[in-house]
Amino acid sequence: MTSNEAETKPKVKETVYGYVLASPFLLFLSMFLLFPLAYEIFMALFSSRLEFVGTEYIRRLLVDPAYVESLLNTALYVGVGVNVKMFLALLLANALNSIDFTGKRLYKALIMIPWVIPVVPSALNFRWMLDADYGIVNQILHNLGIAPVGWLINPHLALGSVIFIHIWTNLPFWSLILLSGLQSIPVDLYDAVKVDGARSWQGFRHLTLPLMRRLYLICTVLSTVWTMGDFGIIWALTKGGPANATQIIATNAYRQAFEFGEFGYAASMFLFVLPILGILVILLLRLLRE
């Protein structure tokens, strides 16, 4: 046996062991990601009778006003919800990290309640609170001499109300993640900033933001990916109404598939979203490598 063969043999064994150890993950990835993705593309290209329809569903989408409106609603829901949520999460995390007060640990536990409560009970609770006739919010407004507001039945207010509930529900989780990042910053750096005479907001701007930039971007990308597939909150609150004012791609596809039986048409609705998700995943992987 030559020296090259002797060196190659351990490398082959390491490669085989690597594939064996990675096989459960590869199997999981194939079953729950690659196969559903391939099946979705198959449904978008073939009818229920297995007849090739090509771009027929795509052409229908382009002239479907309900789908165009759901795209715009999804963009608003994700764009406004994610950015406002992450900004508030950073402010809340910074306040919890820099301000000392009695009962701070208890407060950290209490602010997690909106996120810990399951989505459907939380959404139903908000639907009762925002009810136009009997909701507690409108009762308070009535006692203050303000006319009741149709938070979830007014097409001009429904999407904003749903976005607010999304922010309220998910804000604690991202605040906790960002708080863990803030706590990893050495205290000596903040002491040095104070010695130099910088104020608290200057330290936040010139020290906290640059050091938290990478974690903040990673959390924002992850939140964007998860929010684009959000379904439970909107379906439990409005089911896409009123007049499609809160209809997003996920709820629109659900209705087309399970109410009208248009499974291929519903699957094609996500084809426009897949490239965006792919770009976000690539961006996330690059951020993780840095």
Q: What is the pLDDT of residues 129-153, one digit of tens each?
A: 999 888 999 999 989 999 889 999 9
DSSP conformational letter for 62: H
Q: What is the pLDDT of residues 102-122, one digit of tens each?
A: 777 888 788 888 888 888 899
| φ, ψ (nearest 5 deg) of residue 134 | -120, 5
| Partners of residue 46 on adjacent β-strands | 52
Same domain flag for 62 and 202:
yes
Q: Evaluate whether residue 123 is within a structural domain.
A: yes
Q: Which CATH number belongs to the domain containing residue 219 in this structure?
A: 1.10.3720.10
Same domain flag for 233 and 171:
yes
Same domain flag for 39 and 86:
no
Give the pLDDT score at 9: 61
pLDDT at 173 over 90: yes
Give the pLDDT score at 4: 54
Mean pLDDT of 190-214: 77
Same domain flag for 28 and 75:
no
Same domain flag for 41 and 82:
no
Q: Evaluate whether residue 130 is within a structural domain.
A: yes
Q: Evaluate whether residue 211 is within a structural domain.
A: yes
Quick one: pLDDT band at residue 7, thresholds 50, 70, 90?
low
Give the pLDDT score at 103: 77
Mean pLDDT of 21-41: 81
Q: Evaluate whether residue 1 is within a structural domain.
A: yes
Q: Evaluate whether residue 50 is within a structural domain.
A: no
Supply the DSSP string of 85-124, one letter for each residue.
Answer: HHHHHHHHHHHHHH---TTHHHHHHHTTHHHHS-HHHHHH
Same domain flag for 62 and 24:
no
Q: Specify the 3-state DSSP secondary structure of 17.
A: helix
pLDDT at 88 over 70: yes
Mean pLDDT of 204-211: 81
Expressed as residue numbers, the domain containing 208 is 57-289
Same domain flag for 20 and 89:
no
Q: Evaluate whether residue 51 is within a structural domain.
A: no
Same domain flag for 31 and 135:
no
Among 272, 255, 257, 265, smallest CA distance to 43 is for 265
Give the count of domains, the chain: 2
Q: What is the mean pLDDT of the chain?
A: 85
Per-residue burial over 109-142, b if 16 or more Cβ lie within 10 Å, else e, is eeeeebbeeeeeebbeebbebbbeeebebbeeee
Q: Evaluate whether residue 122 is within a structural domain.
A: yes
**Residues 6 or more apart in contact with residue 228 via CB below 8 angstroms:** 74, 78, 249, 273, 276, 277
Same domain flag for 33 and 122:
no
Give the pLDDT score at 111: 85
Same domain flag for 181 and 276:
yes
Q: Specify the 3-state DSSP secondary structure of 52.
A: strand
Give the pTM: 0.85
Same domain flag for 81 and 145:
yes
Q: What is the pLDDT of residues 227-282, one digit of tens each?
A: 988 899 999 999 998 999 999 999 999 999 898 888 888 888 888 788 887 888 78
